[in-house]
Amino acid sequence: MSDKSAIEKIKEASEHLRGSLKESLQDEITGAIRDDDQAVVKFHGMYMQDDRDRREERAAKRLERLYSYMIRLRLPGGLLTPEQWLAVYDVAGEYGTGVIKITSRQTLQLHGILKSEIKPTIQAFQLAKLDSIATCGDINRNVLCSSHPGQSPLHAEIFSYADKISRLLMPKTKAYYEIWLDEEVLLDKKEEEDPLYQERYLPRKFKIGIAIPPNNDVDALANDIGLIAIIEDEKLKGFNIAVGGGLSSTHGNPETYPRLATVIGFVDTEEKLLKAVYEVVTIQRDFGNRSDRKRARLKYTLDTMGVEAFVKELEKRTGFSLEPAKPYTFTSRGDYYGWKQSVDGKWHYTLLVENGRITDDETQALKTALREVALTGKALFHFTCTQNVILSGVAEADKPVLDEILVRFGVKAKTEESSLIRRNAMACVAFPTCPLALAEAQRYLPSLIDKIEPLLAKYELEKEPITIRMTGCPNGCARSYAAEIGLVGTAYGKYNLQLGGDRVGERLNAIYKENIGEAEILAELEPLFAAYATNRKTGETFGDFMLRRNG
């Protein structure tokens, strides 16, 4: 076995994720924190970043980079009360850039928080009963669950599992409370012994999502563990368990690849589900690659062990056998925009948030509108895995009040008048904050869609809900490998055009053209749209057509 990676050593030496964070915070000479602490702070839900747009200007003035921190909340299932929304709104304005970003994993991020403002930010979150524990780092992340309250009469029951799993897999360390909330230092360190994570935590990030068929809005199979709720006779019978999903690769490294999770079986009780989830995590802890971080995700552990050996190990650890997987069908993956009635008779409105950026702009005053909605106290806030918002739990009598707000600030028009391709689009953050971005994504995709829309119109394809997803690098944060049209950044202004993915998240796309710019992307897409319009079979999606055409 080769040597452990540098990050492994940092984790083990960190005294349960304390590192020298307290000292780093006190250092007023720099906006940065120490190198080792940059790895440790991720486990507390934060990333040190700098404004890449301003690197040259700062370097010319011999100033250090403009360091700030991105903080990501832990919101299992992506749900906030209106009071909590107002708290996030205030924090974003006071300490962040003002923009609230909905992520592709159903939670919220604030960017641009200076080092001196991290503690006040975390403290304000704590007052609102919010935290950022374990939303980054080599640990179980925010647990996803289908967002749509109208999806199933069993939505609330299934939704509760996101929280149960999140709590089951939380780290035991009290470092977060000690460092950010100034709570008393533990005298007896035994109290935070962590049988799950031990001192080494996981070899890599770990992700779990729960889907409620027929909608796969969480992209369950893109997760390390994808759980698929099995409903029969309107009762929750249990969950199919899928393992080994992950959507990242590295350009030029064939040892890395995106992979959809493999369904390995079914469990029928809560106890068995939680046991199985826990033991999949321990297998990854014990067998995952700790020397090469590029090959450290569960998908590689699974492929190295083989599915059969993996299941055998899991059954040994749980003490029970998995039942054969139950049949299920995904027929959709997106959000159901507009007003819809929930099973309890209340209403919910799903609104489009282009690439998850909540701000006021020339098209709509979205941020102001959501504040007004929250001030009424008449709706809960859900965040979807396609970076949108659902306002839920709205009484029939309150619907006109909220509707008026959505109309007044241009939100309803934006949601309902946007083209289908725009509504089914998603881009990752990329520039200016993501240090790994090779190309633009959320700042650029809207303008590319402006140019794709007329092409679709020309071939009368406006009513086709084609999915398009863009990422600024091959890490796949907007799940660009699981789209009908994927654009994966290779260099500034250049992308791999990936085609042939299905519409429900059960088949990945493949590279169609490498490293091309906007003009070539449009020139490649136009004849394909033309061919699709002429030659598609009834009901055939663009992704399925591309697969049939190109094999």
Residues that bind ligand SF4 (CB under 6 A): 428-430, 434, 436-437, 441, 471-473, 475-477
Alpha-carbon gap, residue 48 to 457, rounded angstroms = 43
The entry of ligand SRM, ligand SF4, none that residue 288 binds, CB within 5 to 8 Å by partner kind: none
CB of 517 to ligand SRM, least distance (A): 22
Nearer Cβ to ligand SRM (394/428)? 428
Q: 2: buried, middle or exposed (CB in 10 Å: 19+, 13-18, 0-12)?
A: exposed
Please compute, for residue 214, the number of CA atoms within 13 A of its CA located in the half-sphere on the CB side: 5
> Are the beta carbons of 80 and 376 closer than 8 angstroms?
no
CB of 248 to ligand SF4, least distance (A): 8
What residues contact 93, with CB distance under 8 A and at least 6 apart? none
Alpha-carbon gap, residue 224 to 260, rounded angstroms = 9
435 is a contact residue toward ligand SRM (CB under 6 A):
yes
33 is a contact residue toward ligand SRM (CB under 6 A):
no
- Supply 126's token pair: 């704590």
CB of 475 to ligand SF4, least distance (A): 4
179 is a contact residue toward ligand SRM (CB under 6 A):
no
Q: 383: part of which helix (H) or strand (E)? A: strand 380-383
Number of residues engaging ligand SRM in binding (CB under 6 A):
33
Q: Please state at what angle helix 298-305 crosses helix 307-318, rounded to 10 degrees.
A: 100
Kindly write down the DSSP assignment for every residue of 221-250, as one continuous string: GGSSEEEEEEEETTEEEEEEEEE--B---B
Q: Note if 477 is an active site residue.
A: yes
350 is a contact residue toward ligand SRM (CB under 6 A):
no
Instruction: Give the angle subtended at the CA of 455 by the CAs of 450 and 461, to the nearest 5°.
Output: 110
Q: 511: part of which helix (H) or strand (E)? A: strand 510-516
Q: Note if 399 is an active site residue.
A: no
CB of 421 to ligand SRM, least distance (A): 18
> Are the beta carbons of 385 and 104 closer than 8 angstroms?
yes
Select from 395-403, 429-437, 512-520, 539-547 the region that touches ligand SRM (CB under 6 A): 429-437
The entry of ligand SRM, ligand SF4, none that residue 433 binds, CB within 5 to 8 Å by partner kind: ligand SRM
> Are the beta carbons of 118 and 37 closer than 8 angstroms?
no
The entry of ligand SF4, ligand SRM, none that residue 378 binds, CB within 5 to 8 Å by partner kind: none
Nearer Cβ to ligand SF4 (153/446)? 446
Q: What are the backbone angles phi and psi of residue 183, rounded to the nearest 5°? A: -80, 160
CB of 429 to ligand SF4, least distance (A): 4
The entry of ligand SRM, ligand SF4, none that residue 246 binds, CB within 5 to 8 Å by partner kind: ligand SRM
The entry of ligand SRM, ligand SF4, none that residue 207 binds, CB within 5 to 8 Å by partner kind: ligand SRM
Nearer Cβ to ligand SRM (96/238)? 96
> Dmax of the chain from CA atoms?
73
Q: Note if 141 is an active site residue.
A: yes
Nearer Cβ to ligand SRM (96/476)? 476
Closest CA to 510 of 478, 532, 488: 488
Choosing from 105, 141, 272, 346, the catalytic residue is 141
Task: Give, rounded to a whole angstrom, the gap between the first and last alpha carbons of the chain.
Answer: 39
Mark residues 51-80: x for contact with ligand SRM by CB under 6 A, - for none. -------------------x-x--------
215 is a contact residue toward ligand SRM (CB under 6 A):
no
Rg (CA), the chain: 23
Nearer Cβ to ligand SF4 (391/468)? 468
Q: Note if 385 is an active site residue.
A: no
297 is a contact residue toward ligand SRM (CB under 6 A):
yes
Choosing from 136, 477, 479, 494, the catalytic residue is 477
The entry of ligand SRM, ligand SF4, none that residue 179 binds, CB within 5 to 8 Å by partner kind: none
Choosing from 11, 18, 204, 205, the catalytic residue is 205
Choosing from 11, 18, 42, 72, the catalytic residue is 72
Alpha-carbon gap, residue 339 to 282, rounded angstroms = 43
Nearer Cβ to ligand SF4 (475/498)? 475
Alpha-carbon gap, residue 468 to 302, rounded angstroms = 29
Q: Which of 105, 174, 272, 295 binds ligand SRM (CB under 6 A)?
A: 105
Residue 462 DSSP code: T
Which string of b and e fits 374-411 if b means at least 16 CB within 10 Å? beeebbbbbbbbbbbbbbbbbeeebbeebeebbeebbb
Choosing from 74, 385, 473, 494, the catalytic residue is 473
Alpha-carbon gap, residue 458 to 532, rounded angstroms = 12
Q: Note if 200 is an active site residue.
A: no
Select from 90-98, 184-192, 312-320, 470-478 the region that touches ligand SRM (CB under 6 A): 470-478
The entry of ligand SF4, ligand SRM, none that residue 473 binds, CB within 5 to 8 Å by partner kind: ligand SF4
Q: 68: part of which helix (H) or strand (E)? A: strand 67-72
Residues recorded for the chain: 551
Q: Note if 136 is an active site residue.
A: no
CB of 474 to ligand SF4, least distance (A): 7
Q: Which of 429, 466, 483, 528 binds ligand SRM (CB under 6 A)?
A: 429
Q: Which residues are catalytic?
A: 72, 141, 205, 207, 428, 434, 473, 477
- Give the interface with ligand SRM as residue ranges (CB under 6 A): 47, 49, 70, 72, 103-105, 107, 109, 135, 141-142, 205, 207, 219, 222, 246-248, 297, 356, 387, 428-429, 433-436, 475-479
